[in-house]
Amino acid sequence: MNRILYWVPVFMFAALILAFMAAFLSGRDPSALPSVLIDKPVPEFAMPDMQNKSISSKNIFPNNVTVVNFFASWCAPCRAETPILAELFKNNGLQVLGIAYKDKMEPLQVFLRDTVGAYDLVLRDDTGQSSIDWGLTGVPETFVVDGKSRIRYHYAGQLTPVQLQEILAIADHLSREE
């Protein structure tokens, strides 16, 4: 009986290791998890901008394809992806809305000074409520919203040139649709 009790934890540990290995080797990209908000309206919000002026979702999205990027000043991948966001904003004419997730004003101002040109407008999600409404699992996360205020694309994680091309193709398609 003692011998069986000795081997039970060993087998349980081995099963746990095998389960983790199977998940790791499955090849599925966790950043590609589909958002339940795809093709749904943007969650309504009102958040302060950098000058403490309250901005409503109703004033941002009508008739514009908009890239919405949730970020934080303390997030290294967020900082690393800002050249891609600047590319979307400057060279492709897309509106890029940055939403700072539960950030403090001073580090946020430093982040924005260091990453000039990445965002057309920055709002502050000081409470984290908007992040919950959008279904965030972390930062950075990026969405594309069409001119009818519907979420059409979602990517969780740091943007790369591959996602830049995906976003440009989607934005081009959406602008032709409208």
Q: Are strands 95-101 and 66-71 parallel, antiparallel or unpaired?
A: parallel
If one counts the domains in the chain, the total is 1
145-155: pLDDT as tens digits: 999 999 999 99
pTM for the full model? 0.81
Residue 17 lies in a domain: no
Q: Let me know the angle formed at the C-alpha of 39 by 87 and 57, rounded to the nearest 5 degrees.
A: 65
125-177: pLDDT as tens digits: 999 999 999 999 999 999 999 999 999 999 999 999 999 999 999 999 998 88
| Residue 30 reports pLDDT greater than 60 | no
Provide the domain limits for residue 47: 32-177
| Residue 32 reports pLDDT greater than 70 | no
40 vs 173: CA distance, rounded Å = 18
Residue 72 lies in a domain: yes
Q: Tell me the CATH number at 107.
A: 3.40.30.10
Residue 73 lies in a domain: yes
Shortest CA distance to 31 belongs to which of 160, 177, 172, 171?
Answer: 160
94 vs 14: CA distance, rounded Å = 50
